Amino acid sequence: MTAPGIRLKKRLIFCLFAVFFLFFALILRLVWIQIIRGDVYRDMAVDQWTRDIPIPSKRGIIYDRNGKKLAISASIETLYARPIEIKDAKEVSYRIAEALDMDREDVLDRLTRNVDTVLLKKKVEKEDVDRIRDIEGIYSVDDSKRYYPNRNFASHILGFTGTDNQGLDGVEALFDRYLYGLPGRNIAETDAAGRRIPFGFGTQYSPQDGYHLVLTIDEVVQHFAEKAIEEAVINNKAKKGTAIVMDPKTGDILALAVKPDYDPNTPFDPVNEQERELWEGLSAEELRDERLKMWRNYAVSDIYEPGSTFKVITTAAGLEEGVVRPDSTFYCKGSIAVGGRTLKCWRSYNPHGHQTFVEAVQNSCNPVFIEIAGRLGKEKFLEYIEAFGFGEPTGVDLPGEAYGLVMNPSIAGPVELANMGFGQGVAVTPIQLITAASAIANEGMLMEPRIALALKDQEGNTIHEFGSKLRRQVISPQTARTTMQILETVVSEGTGSNAYIPGFRVAGKTGTAQKVVDGRYVQGKYVASFLGIAPADDPRVVVLVVIDEPDPANYYGGQIAAPVVGNILSDTLRYLKVQPRYTEEEAERLIQEKVTVPDVEGIPLQEAIKALSSSNLQYQVVGSVIEGDANRIVDQTPKPDIMVTEKSIVLLYLESYSRQHREAIVPNVIGKTVNGATGLLRAEGLKVQITGTGIAVSQDPLPGEVVDFDTVVRVVFEEPEGSQ
């Protein structure tokens, strides 16, 4: 009996240890699940018994400095499907594919996935959603689509957005964190089959819409710049061109136009049919490169040798250091020997001969500026070049800004120094050059260029202002004023005469530079430019026009760029209500050229254009030209019967502009959620007064009524029957 007793005890001990081991293992497993991995399993459980649908936020509006909308968000919807609730996925896939213009196999794949919720399609028009709204298991949430009402207007400033409403270029990208807002969530408790529990937990976290962005851009001045540079590029058969208008006292960019451009509503499409044909057959990589070139902001991202426009920097530095005075005399024999090389004047065939420094600036005489650079010395001259902001970013809030190229003093010899004196051997961006010129116009104070003025909340309250920034004092006020006086003679007596505007004192400098490609100057390829400042005695605006690769038959900046600057300055100064001051000779001449502005209010656009043309007046359309009979003139500037000079510009305000900026058509928000109705009304410039929760059942004023901006629309919401 002893042996069986021992075996029994051993079995009992074994069982005891086995049970203890299993119990210990179970405890360890529970610790692993409940404590160590508790957060993970808790999240998995929540995902399993809840339905979570994101609610996109509405992107903030982008305004110009006067409150005109440049980029808005139009109401639209995003569709989701819950495969567990789809009864006949195959049949439903046909309806959805037809309504949403999707591939049926792709739709069927989405409807049969083993997931709780699947995205069907983003950015769907309400009319398309209504065609499948009755299908069980299909859900829609209010969304928004970015819309640029003026199409390609200011495209290189605004940029564009992606499918998720994220900014991809321009200020849309730079200020994305402010414009985007904070998405919301719609969370509901579901059973094991994924169906919503009737009395279960459910909540909605409303999205926070993005802030509105106010730019320094003036829509009217931008129109002036875009029209002028587009005509210049076309007329001179140029590769591209840019025009920048800046307020020198604040650094505000009033206009920045780049041509060719693109439509940010369809940023991945070619700009015209000619481009479309060129893009056909390109590989994916080649297509990407073409799009990048189309989006590239020439004004801030491309560098070029400025040529004679850079002589304003040499002039200011020479005057500040006292190595030259306005009455200093020079002699031009057509060339000058430097470092064993002979550098020619642009007019070597007929040298300028004896001249004062003022006359040398008027004549844009290269040997004189070579001599001034030599007197300054490379260390001192490069010090001024860098002080004016060359070789470093200006700080403008636009993506892709280039640094430019400034030669290292250690490798700059006499020839390199001489070349920099008249604008060769240094590479700048257009934004750098106009910023430096604005410092001369601003008593020698270099301002940081500014593109953004303020951020506003949904109620229009300013939450942040982007103040103007003084970077440094580059030259003394006296030197700046002397430089301005000299540059004024360039327009009144020198190579910049094509920028002359009767009644206004204009300062300026021409520029013509041979292009550098792969480190070598290319024959027949030039960059023509002109820098204009007005009024010269109290500068209000600085304008830079750069025309890249114009027709070699006529490529001089004084001939093709100066008139463009003159037109922009003339239109802008009059728009800013800067009063002209005519000399007796100008006044007598202008009396003979005065015409009466015709009354074009209330007539179609084409008739208004004919009436203005017959009076020898130009026009500028303000507002979006649309199909139909809406292209009627609702206002004009100047008003009828006012006497103006021939070829003056008359601003024509279209009915579409009136609706956008003065009146609004009340949209239909019946059936919308609180977020959907609020977003739709705010997009039209209307305010909303909310009563109740749930779905909108009534509104006052009624849909379709024309009301003033900021009118309060009272909307009553009620919970649907059976909802909890």
Residues 6+ apart with CB under 8 A from 29: none
Shortest CA distance to 364 belongs to which of 519, 495, 502? 495
Annotate 345-407 with DSSP letters as a single string.
-TTTTS--EEEEHHHHHHHT-HHHHHHHHHHH-HHHHHHHHHHTTTTS----SSTT----B--
The first and second tokens of residue 346, run together, are: 């642009």
Annotate 26-49 with DSSP letters as a single string.
HHHHHHIIIIISHHHHHHHHHHHH
* Residue 436 backbone dihedrals phi, psi, to 5 degrees: -65, -45
Shortest CA distance to 698 belongs to which of 666, 667, 669? 669
Annotate 491-558 with DSSP letters as a single string.
HHTSTTGGG-BTTB--EEEEEEEEEEETTEEEEEEEEEEEEEEESTTS--EEEEEEEES--TTS--HH
Q: What's the rounded Cα separation, in Å, for the pair 211 and 60? A: 5
Say whether the peptide bond before residue 638 is cis (omega within 30 degrees of 0): yes
Which letter, b or e, does each residue of 384-393 get, where b requires 16 or more Cβ atoms within 10 Å of its Cβ?
Answer: bbebbbbbee
- Please say if 308 is a catalytic residue: yes
Q: Using the 8-state DSSP alphabet, how is residue 169 labeled?
A: S
Number of Cβ within 10 Å of residue 71's Cβ equals 28
Q: Of 301, 308, 497, 658, which residue is the catalytic one?
A: 308
Q: What's the rounded Cα separation, in Å, for the pair 532 and 509? A: 7
Gyration radius from the chain CA atoms: 34
Task: Determine if residue 556 is left, alpha or beta; phi over 0 gives left, psi from -120 to 50 gives alpha, anything else beta.
Answer: beta
Say whether the peptide bond before residue 149 is cis (omega within 30 degrees of 0): no
In angstroms, the first-to-last Cα distance of the chain is 74
Residues 6+ apart with CB under 8 A from 248: 437, 438, 439, 441, 442, 447, 533, 539, 540, 541, 542
Strands (E), 448-489: 452-456, 462-465, 470-473
* Residue 277 backbone dihedrals phi, psi, to 5 degrees: -65, -40
Residues 6+ apart with CB under 8 A from 366: 336, 343, 344, 345, 346, 421, 422
Judge residue 402's burial from the number of C-beta atoms within 10 Å of its C-beta, 0-12 exposed, 13-18 middle, 19 or more buried.
middle
Q: What's the rounded Cα separation, in Å, for the pair 137 and 93? A: 12
User: Facing residues of 645 across strands?
Assistant: 594
Alpha helix (H) residue ranges in 248-365: 273-279, 284-295, 298-301, 311-321, 357-363
* Residue count of the chain: 724
Which one-letter amino acid corresponds to residue 297? N
Q: Whose structure tokens read 């299908």? A: 135
Please state, in angstroms and as integers, the Cα–Cα distance from residue 404 to each residue in 215, 259, 300, 513, following that order.
25, 21, 10, 16
Q: What's the rounded Cα separation, in Å, for the pair 477 and 296? A: 36
- Annotated catalytic residues are 308
